[in-house]
Structure 1
Amino acid sequence: MNATAQRPVDRWFASYSGDHQNDTNQLIHVFAVPTILWTVVALLWCIPVFGTWIKSGAWAALAMFAAWMYYYKLSRPLGFGMLAIFIAMAWLTRWLEALLGLQNLLYLAIAVFVLAWIAQFIGHKIEGKKPSFLTDLTYLLIGPVWVLSKFYRKMGWKY
């Protein structure tokens, strides 16, 4: 880690990047990590909320809000970016629920979750390093915002 990595977000990214040096693995992550994030949202979306007027999505909304608070604390610009992503994912999930039904949304989310994780493990096999979350579960939260930070850097945006 270099001397300029003082903020917690920079320390997390420096450590996470150390496990993701291979270009192919990074490319796999750019697609698989957001996909896995969506599948988690969709899986939580499918958990019923018994005894209320809320039919679906409440658990996903709570989880997205909690994750957003974490991201906002790490970095306001990245937090706002993740907020936009969560809103888009909630909209997509609601649309898919209306199109497919809740049960088929669940099946779709499970299938995509499994395929995206297979891709992730292939990427780490290519990399020759184990996934970061095996050393600290916090990296499951860092992965999506790390991918977003790559986009911010490409756009020349500060985070």
Structure 2
Amino acid sequence: MKTLTQHLSQYALYHRDERNILTHYLGIPLIVIAIFSLLSIPLFSLGAITLTPTLLLFTATALFYFRLDLRFGLVMLLFSGSCLAIALWLAAQPLTVWLSSAISLFVIGWVLQFIGHYFEGKKPAFVDDIVGLFVGPLFIIAELSFKLGLRKTLQQDIEQIAGKTH
């Protein structure tokens, strides 16, 4: 399995334009909320826990992030947990409100992504590597941490491979 630096560097190769990264700060959370909401249909219950595709996805991605890095894993747990809370609230709304809202968030999120990639002049990373769909949320958290002056060594390692943002 690739390391944190390898995943983020691979993703960064498609995201060096600051305008593209800015669109991802909003687009990616909207997509995550929409997917969590759309996948929140119960499969079956195990006592107090209702198993849904959302719960399986949330757990799998949390394990993926923690395997890459404990600190980012914790931050991603907060990010994903916040998206999950919003998604579950949305899923509890009447059917037409839930479905139209979740689909709208999904479409708006992807429109933002493609606007960003228009600025970048490159296709989205997931086109070449489907794992990019899971790295995207981690990438925006990493980029925010770099903006806050955190994880400078990781930032330098990524910039050595992918170049600086512009």
Give TM-score, length-normalised by structure 1. 0.83
Change (3 A) 1:51 1:10: closer
Q: How far apart are 1:123 and its partner, in Å?
A: 1.2
Change (3 A) 1:58 1:18: same
Aligned length in residues: 151
Change (3 A) 1:9 1:71: same
Which of 115, 119, 124 aligns to 1:126? It is 119
Q: Kindly provide the CA deviation profile for residues 21-53 of structure 1, in whole angstroms up to 9, marking residues without a partner as x.
A: 1121111011111211111111111x2426878
Q: How far apart are 1:17 and its partner, in Å?
A: 1.2
Answer yes or no: is 1:60 the counterpart of 2:54: yes
Give TM-score, length-normalised by structure 2. 0.80
Identity across aligned pairs (percent)? 30
Change (3 A) 1:57 1:89: farther
Stretches of structure 1 that go unaligned for 5 or more consecutive residues are 1-6
1:35 aligned counterpart, secondary structure: helix
Contact preservation (8 Å) 2:20, 2:120: yes
Note the 1:2-151 alignment, pairs <5 A: 8-45=3-40, 47-49=41-43, 58-98=52-92, 100-151=93-144
Stretches of structure 2 that go unaligned for 5 or more consecutive residues are 155-166
Contact preservation (8 Å) 1:36, 1:116: yes
1:19 aligned counterpart, secondary structure: coil
Aligned-partner Cα distance in 2 for 1:104–1:53: 29
Aligned-partner Cα distance in 2 for 1:33–1:66: 18
Q: How far apart are 1:60 and its partner, in Å?
A: 0.8
Q: Give RMSD over aligned pairs.
A: 2.3
Q: Kindly provide the CA deviation profile for residues 74-94 of structure 1, in whole angstroms up to 9, marking residues without a partner as x.
A: 111111111112222222223
Contact preservation (8 Å) 1:49, 1:55: no
Q: How far apart are 1:13 and its partner, in Å?
A: 1.2
